[in-house]
Structure 1
Amino acid sequence: MPRKFGEIAFTPEVQAAQSERGSRQTYERYIANGPAGDTITPQIAEFIARLDGFYLGTVSSNGYPYIQFRGGTPGFLKVLDEKTLGFADFSGNVQYITVGNLSGEAKAFMFLMDYRHRQRIKVWGKAEYIEGDSALIEQVRVPNYKAEIERVILFHVEAVSENCPQHIPIRYGVAEVEAMIAPLEARIQDLEQQLGKALSNG
């Protein structure tokens, strides 16, 4: 189990709950013997490259968490280096809740889900938004998507934790389903043509 994950997630209150319920010593051993787990490894980068969406959590000034889904074509979430993720931020519904939250509190969280392969990765860190940096905007630009980029959101990684696949439902995207049924549709079309010829010759 990654050390940095434990340092962030296992607050004094969490540790007290673990002690009361008998799991504290087990997690202490896991954390003591585990890797740092504070970088984007090549394997995690490969995982991120195939995502078409993720959940971003920020914290408001009144202490409430705010979770937002961000979606795009695979590759829209960029691995800029082993400690930094970035993505383009468009106008959307112009509520600017994420931008406002990050203005007051940089702590943030990413929940990355790959339903197709039943994998999930949690990422803790600090986020910031940057406006007017044309070079950075080009780094996160999504090919063939013409909407204007208002800003770039950078996520500075502090801890990463991979979870087990238990209870994750398998879900397929439209493109994946279309690719799977394409041979079946072709076969049906071929059989219909054969049947049509047989009936016309009958």
Structure 2
Amino acid sequence: MARAFAKIAFTDNVKQLQSEMGSRETYQVFEQGDTDDVCIDKRTEQFIKQRDSFYIATSNDDGWPYIQHRGGPKGFLKVLSDKQIGFADFRGNRQYLTVGNIQGNNKVCLFLMDYAQTRRLKIWGHAEVIQEAEYAGLMAQLELADFRAPVERGIVITIDAMDWNCPKYITPRYTQDEFVQFLVDD
């Protein structure tokens, strides 16, 4: 898993800066992992299933980056296999920036945050926009029975790399349910 992450993230410019700043030796170990194979293990699957939001980064045809927050009930980001995740794309502000960017460049990066436990997972992959007419079975897996937001399409991401990132500087934040539970437990 670490080698796949390093191959994507550690470009020549990044490696040069790591050398200049004294961290190259530490991160060079990531590149020497035994496999590029990336699989969602049980720990990662549980983490993904507990998220009620994430951030997705894309870039447009001119190379400009864009990041968007996506939210829904816990579990709206689905684990489809050990190498794929997906979600129903609910109607939003109708700018279609993320979907439009994916159609031009399907490389994406997701940040999944657990603010309360100060954990984050970064995921790099290739996204595909799917429509109900062509992918009815897959869309059925992505839809949420008890969530009434209009679904316009699905987005399926084939994972190329993942990295559990350090918790440093993650400010703990709590959902209303977590806060209430904290009060009850106290």
Q: Give the alignment's TM-score, normalised by structure 2.
A: 0.91
Question: What does the per-residue CA deviation read over 1:20-71, in whole Å, with 9 as the maximum and x for residues that have no partner?
Answer: 3333233223321466462211110001111110000011111111100001
Residue number in structure 2 paired with 1:192: none
Q: Give the Cα–Cα distance (whole angstroms) in 1 for the partners of residues 23 and 185 of structure 2.
A: 51
Provide the rounded CA distance (Å) in 2 between the counterparts of 1:104 and 1:146: 30
SS for the counterpart of 2:103 is helix
Q: Deviations over 1:4-25 (max 9, x none)?
A: 1110001111122222333323
Q: Kindly state the Cα deviation for residue 107 of structure 1 after the two structures are TM-superposed.
A: 0.6
* Separation in 2, partners of 1:25, 1:182: 47
Q: What is the RMSD computed on CA atoms of the aligned residues?
A: 1.8
User: Structure 1 residues 150-159 or 172-181, which shifts more?
Assistant: 172-181
Partner of 1:24: 24
| Letter in structure 2 aligned against 1:107 | K
More helix by share: 1
User: 1:149: Cα distance to partner?
Assistant: 1.3
1:127-157 deviations in Å (ceiling 9; x for gaps): 1110122211210112311222110001110
Check whether the contact 1:2–1:37 (CA below 8 A) recurs between aligned residues. no
Moved more, 102-111 or 12-21: 12-21
Aligned counterparts of 2:10 and 2:53: Cα–Cα separation in 1: 27
Unaligned runs of 5+ in 2: none
Aligned to 1:180: 182
The correspondence of residues 77-116 of structure 1 with structure 2, limited to 5 A, is 77-116=77-116
Q: Quick check: 1:37–1:161 contact (8 Å CA) kept in 2? A: no
TM-score by length of 1: 0.84
Determine whether 1:50 maps to 2:50. yes
Quote the sequence identity (%). Answer: 43
Return the alpha-carbon distance in structure 2 between the equivalents of residues 61 and 131 of structure 1: 22
Code of the residue aligned with 1:158 in structure 2: it is: D
Q: Take 2:167 and 2:46, find their aligned partners in 1: how far apart are those partners?
A: 18
> Which ranges of structure 1 fall in alignment gaps of 5 or more residues?
185-202
Amino acid at match of 1:114: D
Structure 1 counterpart of 2:163: 161
Q: Find the residue that maps to 1:150 and give its secondary structure.
A: strand
Distance of aligned partners of 1:112 and 1:37 in 2 relative to their CA distance in 1, 3 Å threshold: farther
1:5 matched to which residue of 2? Answer: 5
Aligned to 2:147: 145
What is residue 171 of structure 1 aligned with on the other side? 173
Q: Contact conserved, 2:6 with 2:30, CA < 8 A, in 1?
A: no
Q: Which structure has the larger Rg over C-alpha atoms?
A: 1
Indicate conservation of the 8 Å contact 1:58/1:102, yes or no.
Answer: yes
CA distance change for structure 1 residues 12 and 79 in 2, over 3 Å: closer, same or farther? same
